[in-house]
Amino acid sequence: MTGRRVVLDSNVPLYALGADSPWRDSCDRVMRLIAGGNLRAVASTEMIQEVVHHRLRMVGRPDAVADGRDLAELVDLVAFDEAVLDKALELIEATGIRGRDAVHAATALTQGIDKIVSIDPAFDAVPGLTRVDPSAVASGT
């Protein structure tokens, strides 16, 4: 995947930043690939907001905001604009994908990106988008 753009789902940085879990190590390796310039990640501004929202509930305001700023520096940000909203609403109707997942999928598709790094199988139902498990990215497969 080196050199290719992928959309990053919020669960990847959240698991990388979070407590011990089965996904923490692979998500942390993905984030290190991004930080090292070995993987080019794209994210909607809504994804940053989602990470901050979840981190606020877990660790409190100062760390959550810093985490959001750090993440925004690592990825290529795409605005959550009318085109993304329209595509997200279409995806909700067509596939049943919900909420922010629809926004992340719409971000990928409106940017011409066909891969999203996520542990969430909800993305598997989106035509034109392939979900790549963080463990596959981290191992180079």
Provide DSSP, the chain.
-TTSEEEE-THHHHHHHSSS-TTHHHHHHHHHHHHTTSSEEEEEHHHHHHHHHHHHHHH-HHHHHHHHHHHHHHSEEE---HHHHHHHHHHHHHH---HHHHHHHHHHHHTT--EEE-S-GGGGGSTT-EEE-HHHHHHT-
Angle between helix axes 24-35 and 61-74 (nearest 10 degrees) is: 50
What backbone torsions phi and psi does residue 106 show, to the nearest 5 degrees?
Answer: -65, -35
pLDDT of residue 58: 74
Does residue 119 carry a pLDDT above 80?
yes
pLDDT in tens, 69-116: 999 999 999 999 999 999 999 999 999 999 999 999 999 999 999 999
Instruction: Pick left, alpha or beta for residue 127 (phi over 0 → left; psi -120 to 50 → alpha; otherwise beta).
Output: beta
pLDDT of residue 2: 52
Does residue 125 carry a pLDDT above 80?
yes
pTM here is 0.92
pLDDT in tens, 17-56: 987 899 999 999 999 999 999 999 999 999 999 999 998 9
pLDDT of residue 4: 80
Give me the CATH number covering residue 13.
Answer: 3.40.50.1010
Does residue 60 carry a pLDDT above 80?
no
Q: How many domains does the chain have?
A: 1
Asked if residue 140 lies in contact with residue 126, where contact means CB atoms within 8 angstroms, the answer is no
Other beta carbons within 10 angstroms of residue 22's beta carbon come to 9
Average pLDDT over residues 134-139: 87
Range of the domain at 126: 5-139
